[in-house]
Amino acid sequence: MSDLKIATLVGCAIGDALGNPFEMKSSNHHSLLSWDGLFKAGGTFWKGNAGQYTDDTLMSIALAESIIENNGFVPEKVAQEYLKWYNSGNTRGIGSTTASAMVRLKLGASYTESGLKDLENAGNGTAMRASPIGLFYKDDLHSLLSVASQDASITHNSDEPKLGSIAVALGVAFLTDEQHYNNVSVLYEIEDIISDSYVKAKLTLAKYHIENYSEPEEALANIGTSGYVADSVGAAFYCLAKTSNFKDAVQMAVRGGGDTDSIAAITGALAGTYYGLEGIPEEYKTVENFDLLQSLTDELINKEI
C-alpha cells in the first residue's frame, strides 16, 4: 500500500451530511437544481445542521469502534454496540427495519434472532455501514465475506442486504490497493464476484451505462436511487466509476435524488478510500467529528488481524 492517507469514514460522513437535506427529493427538485454543492441544514427524516451526518455514519462509527476494541468482528459485541447507540436516542433518521431489530435486541433477542428474515426487507441499512469491515479485513477476504454477511444479518437477515454489504466491504478493501484497482476497475471486479442477485443486476446495469457513456441523469434513473439496497449499491458504484475526483462523485450521488444520504455515504466511503484525504476539498473537512472519523479509519487500516 502507498503513502495515500485513506479517508474512508470521513468520506462516508461527508456524503451522508451532503445528502441528508435532500433525502427522498427527486433529481429535478428545485432545491437540488439550485444546490451549490456545499453542506446545508435540514433533512426529510432528521433535520440536522450543515455538516452533520445521520444514522449511516453513526452506525459505521459504532461498528468501527467495536472492531477496534475487540480486535475483530465479534457479532454479539457489535449488536450490543448498535443497541447502545439506539438507546442513546441519537438515531438521526434510523430506518424502520433497523429500528425493529433494535427493539428485538432490547427485548432480549440474540444477534442471530434480531434481523428480519422477510425478503421484502431489503433496505440499504447494511451497505451504508459496511465500510469499516473492508478496512479491517482488507488482507483477509475470506473473513470479510463472512463478517459482512454476519453484520448485515443483525438487522436485515436476507440475501440482498447481505450481498450489498459484501459489495461495499469488498469495494473498500480493493480500493485500499490503488496499484491494482481504480474507480472503474473496482466496479468490474465486484460485479464479477457478487453472486446472481438484484445487487449484481444493478452493478451490471451500472457497468452498462459506464461503457455506453450514458448521461448521469439517465443512468441513475435507470439504475434507481431508492433505499432498496440493490439500487443504492449500484448507484454508488456508478457515481464512483463515472467521475474522476471525490467532489464530483459525492455530488453526483446527491444530485441523483432519492435516498441521497445513504447513496452518497456509500459513494463517499468508496471515494474517500480511493482518493484519500488529500483528494477531499477543504470545505468538506468541516464535517462533524472529522478528527474522530479519521482516527477510526487510521486504526482500522493499521490493525493487524
The superfamily in CATH containing domain 8-302 is ADP-ribosylation/Crystallin J1 (1.10.4080.10)
CA 185 to CA 240: how far, in whole Å? 10
Three cell numbers written together for 10: 470521513
pLDDT of residue 117: 85
The dihedral region occupied by 274, where left means phi > 0, alpha psi between -120 and 50, and beta the remainder, is alpha
Three cell numbers written together for 299: 486504526
CA 170 to CA 17: how far, in whole Å? 23
CA angle 59–62–68, rounded 5-degree value: 140
pLDDT tens for 138-184 read 999 999 999 999 999 999 999 999 999 999 999 999 999 988 999 99
pLDDT of residue 178: 86
pLDDT tens for 94-122 read 999 999 999 999 999 999 999 988 766 79
Q: Judge contact between 133 and 165, C-beta under 8 A.
A: yes
Element containing residue 163 per DSSP (H, E): helix 159-175
CA 136 to CA 114: how far, in whole Å? 24
- For residues 18-39, give the mean pLDDT: 98
pTM confidence score: 0.98
pLDDT of residue 223: 98
* Average of per-residue pLDDT values in the chain: 96
Q: Please, what is the angle between helix 198-211 and helix 185-193, to 10°?
A: 150
- For residues 287-303, give the mean pLDDT: 96
